[in-house]
């Protein structure tokens, strides 16, 4: 059983025709284990990595921010530090256990809702910025365009989008090792396709960068 399957309580994910199980569609249900693993995997760089996502989304005091697939709320809390208490930071995730954890750990101006990224109960243009980290590869491929269009609806004109996801190792052997630990979807993460999908949703892509040790992000503006 891969680490990804353990984080999802030994279920979740899809089985493709080859019999390989991936974690697309899987929900994280073990928040403490997830936090412990994330701390180790980022090699001491988790805070600085997530703060770069917050900076790329140009999040500042008073901003209204949406975090899709927020999990335990780590990025939500980094964003909330940047908005301060005059801001509003909303995290959504379909997994009840991670949302319960995020609610316990986060400041008052963070709100959390148990829902998928395809249907967020907020009005059009409700947010200055939308962010997402390590979540897109969990969303089944057929739903990714729907989630990106929902983010487009929710960000105000002139607002920002930053999506960060896992960057599989370029070295083939390292890729197989990481895939064995984490699961099929992370081994085959289509990060290269992300700028095209974001543009198709209506955003203007403004930049992309690697976040060491193992993520990339794409930044965009809503025209
Ligand atoms: C690897 S975790 C990342 C959590 C957090 N964003 C972080 O950076 O630590 C991926 C999250 O995506 C969530 N997820 C799965 N399907 C989703 C969907 N359709 N919409 C939104 N989030 C989803 C999972 O429940 C899980 O909490």
How many Å lie between the centroid of ligand 1 and the Cα of residue 132? 9
pLDDT value of residue 192: 84
Provide residues with CB under 6 Å of ligand 1. Answer: 27-28, 38, 68-71, 74-75, 93-95, 98, 116-117, 133-135, 138-139, 143
Non-local CB neighbours of 14 within 8 Å, separated by 6+ positions: 21, 22, 24, 25, 140
Distances (CA, A) of 40 to 45, 174, 213: 9, 17, 11
pLDDT surpasses 90 at 17:
no
- Per-residue pLDDT tens over the stretch 112-121: 999 999 999 9
Closest atom of ligand 1 to CA, residue 164: 8
CA of 144 from ligand 1 middle (Å) equals 12
Distance CA 191, CA 197 (A): 10
User: Hey, what domains does the chain have and what are their CATH numbers?
Assistant: 3-221 (3.40.50.150)
**Unique residue bearing structure tokens 């999506």:** 163
Q: Number of helices (H) and strands (E) in the chain: give both, helices first.
A: 9, 9
In this predicted structure, the answer to whether residue 65 has a pLDDT above a threshold of 80 is yes
- Enter the pTM of the model: 0.89
162-190 pLDDT tens trace: 999 988 777 676 666 666 555 655 656 66
């Amino acid at each position: 059983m891969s680490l990804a399957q353990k984080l999802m309580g030994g279920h979740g994910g899809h089985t493709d025709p080859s019999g390989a199980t991936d974690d697309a569609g899987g929900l994280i249900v073990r928040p403490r284990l997830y936090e412990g693993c994330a701390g180790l995997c980022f090699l001491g760089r988790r805070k600085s990595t997530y703060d770069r996502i917050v900076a790329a989304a140009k999040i500042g005091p008073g901003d209204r921010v949406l975090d899709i697939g927020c999990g335990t709320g780590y990025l939500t809390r980094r964003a909330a530090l940047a908005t301060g208490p005059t801001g509003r930071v909303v995290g959504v995730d379909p997994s009840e256990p991670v949302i319960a954890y995020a609610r316990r750990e986060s400041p008052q101006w963070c709100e959390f809702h148990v829902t998928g990224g395809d249907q967020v109960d907020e009005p059009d243009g409700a947010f200055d910025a939308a962010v997402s980290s390590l979540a897109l590869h969990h969303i089944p491929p057929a739903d990714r365009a729907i989630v990106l269009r929902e983010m487009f609806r929710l960000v105000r004109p002139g607002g920002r989008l930053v999506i960060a996801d896992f960057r599989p190792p370029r070295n083939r052997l390292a890729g197989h090792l990481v895939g064995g630990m984490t699961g099929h979807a992370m081994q085959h993460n289509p990060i290269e396709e992300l700028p095209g999908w974001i543009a198709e949703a209506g955003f203007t892509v403004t930049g992309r960068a690697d976040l060491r040790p193992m993520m990339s992000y794409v930044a965009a503006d809503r025209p």
